[in-house]
Chain A
Amino acid sequence: MSEVPTSRLGLGGYLVCLSGITRRELLRFVGQRERFLSALVRPLLWLFIFAAGFRSVLGVSIQAPYETYILYEVYVVPGLAVMIQLFYGMQSSLSMVYDRELGSMRVLLTSPFPRWSLLLAKLLASVLVSVAQAYVFLAIALAWDVEAEPIGYLLALPAFVLTGLMLGAIGLFLSSFIRQLENFASVMNFVIFPMFFASSALYPLWRLREASETLYWVCRLNPFSHGVELVRFALYGAFEPVALAVVFGTTVVFFTAACLAYDPGRGVMARRGGPKGDAA
């Protein structure tokens, strides 16, 4: 037998761990091509059908970061790109539940690296995939004549990463509460849809304010709105500091909460009796 390798627990070892978790995420993603397609079909339906249908009805007047009147499909593209990340972030939480049901979560949680670093690696891996999907969508939108500033495509990268981290952290936190895959429908109904529709993704908030002041504030307080605005501004070479602060703060809060929830001594796992809830 060759020499037996032993665990490497320094920074180099952690980077290997991070790349291993990312590789697994990619392998699973590539192995489920329909997931990739379905992730794109949803926003493309909005863009090709919904937005095209409303083009003649809804023009969007001048508002930052746009410098002129824009067509409705130009307005919705950033929101739809972040919608991809929203769905992927929640799907990633679904994969944590799937791992827990399969038992493979135990393999992750018994790694010698600190648990927060394992959750961070899982989060980063999911962000990588969601950012790639968002850029594929932007490329298709470009072919559909919806273009942003050329430099905006580069500036949007950190915005997508931050937004992906925020949505992934929310998903990670939620995953600690979801006991079974069947409960994912609840996440769709109570998290994804309200977050998406009560946001600035589909309509500018000043328009919403004309209809309802309460709804306006609900949308303003929705962190998803700020993720959308962060990306929207970045795509047009602008910067939105409030959006950045909200996205960053929300990420920190939910990631910390997820780490506590997965803590064997304090979190939901402890109350439930382990990663599969099968104390015996």
Chain B
Amino acid sequence: MTGPAALHVADVAHRFGRQEALRGVSLEVPAGRFTALLGPNGAGKTTLFSIVTRLYEQQAGRVAVFGRDLQAAPTRALADMGVVFQARTLDPDLTARQNLAYHAALHGLAGRAVRSRIDELLAAAGLSEKRDEKVRSLSGGQARRVEIARALVHGPRLLLLDEPTVGLDLAARAGILETVRGLVRDHGLSVLWATHIFEEIADDDLVHVLHRGRIVATGEAGTVGGEVGLAAAFRRLTEVAA
């Protein structure tokens, strides 16, 4: 018997004034799976993330996290998710450790066990030596790894990452992608990875293609791509949708 989806989005629509940003978006992130949200810039990925994280109020539709309705039970739903935003959100004047401790406190967590957890997460991110340095002095890739470590402090079951590799070099991109895939493989974490980079998606990943605020295709990347491959299929899908 399977449990509820890690993330269930049904008929979500959103407007900014007269501009329609999302038009009846429905998608699922199955528990324990790496799921990609593929879409070009401006497709509505960040808007969808902002709705799922309650930065924007839902105007229409339903969002549930592990079966809990986001509007009816936002506290528990937010506690179940870790988020890495597209824009950098670390406090540059605090150290890596202090940033993680601050995040832990925002989830009601403090104490020795939490400090150990923070040190372990920073060690796993390869940042033990940088843990007491101000974030301002870290490279883009290191800061991104701190953000992923921070998103895991409170033990979420669902990890949302909005274009986490934007602006990073190839090596850093590959490292971050492998880290996140490892979390799915080894710890059963459920992941929604928003991106516009085809190379980051494997054939057996579940992919939702978002274009102009609509889901235009859903399925395993290998199936969506078919014989032509995901990149060509995406171009065709977005041309048709245009």
Contact = CB atoms under 8 A, between A and B. Distances in A.
Given A265-B57, A280-B42, A7 B47 contact: no
A279 B54 contact: no
Interface stretch (B23-31, B108-116, B166-174, B225-233): B108-116
A8 B102 contact: no
A158 interface: no
Interface of A: 1-10, 12-14, 16-17, 19-21, 23-24, 27-28, 31, 99, 102-104, 106-114, 118, 263-266, 269-270, 273-276, 278-280
Contact of B16 (A27, A107, A273): A273
Given A20-B106, A110-B83, A112-B78, A1 B54 contact: no
B117 A104 contact: no
Interface stretch (B3-11, B92-100, B201-209, B214-222): B92-100
Contact of A1 (B98, B108, B120): B120
Nearest to B19: A279
A6 B79 contact: yes
Given A107-B89, A279-B47, A4 B155 contact: yes
A52 B82 CA distance: 57
B55 A20 contact: no
Given A103-B85, A107-B106, A109-B55, 6 more contacts: A7-B79, A17-B107, A104-B89, A275-B55, A279-B46, A280-B42
Given A9-B79, A27-B98, A112-B74, A21 B57 contact: no
B137 interface: no
Contact of A2 (B50, B79, B116): B116
Contacts of A4: 117, 155
Contacts of A19: 105, 110
A243 B79 CA distance: 42
28 contacts: A1-B120, A2-B117, A5-B109, A5-B154, A5-B155, A8-B107, A10-B108, A16-B105, A20-B101, A20-B106, A24-B91, A27-B94, A28-B91, A28-B93, A102-B88, A106-B83, A106-B89, A107-B106, A109-B54, A109-B55, A110-B54, A113-B106, A263-B57, A270-B56, A274-B50, A276-B87, A280-B44, A280-B47
Contacts of A106: 53, 55, 83, 85, 87, 89
B78 A5 contact: no
B104 interface: yes
Contacts of B117: 2, 4-5
A108 B83 CA distance: 12
Q: Give 7 nearest A-B pairs by CB, closest first.
A: A20-B105, A13-B108, A265-B57, A8-B108, A7-B79, A4-B155, A111-B106
A266 B58 CA distance: 11
Nearest to A8: B108
A5 B79 CA distance: 11
Contact of A8 (B74, B89, B109): B109
B91 A280 contact: no
A51 to B, nearest CB: 35
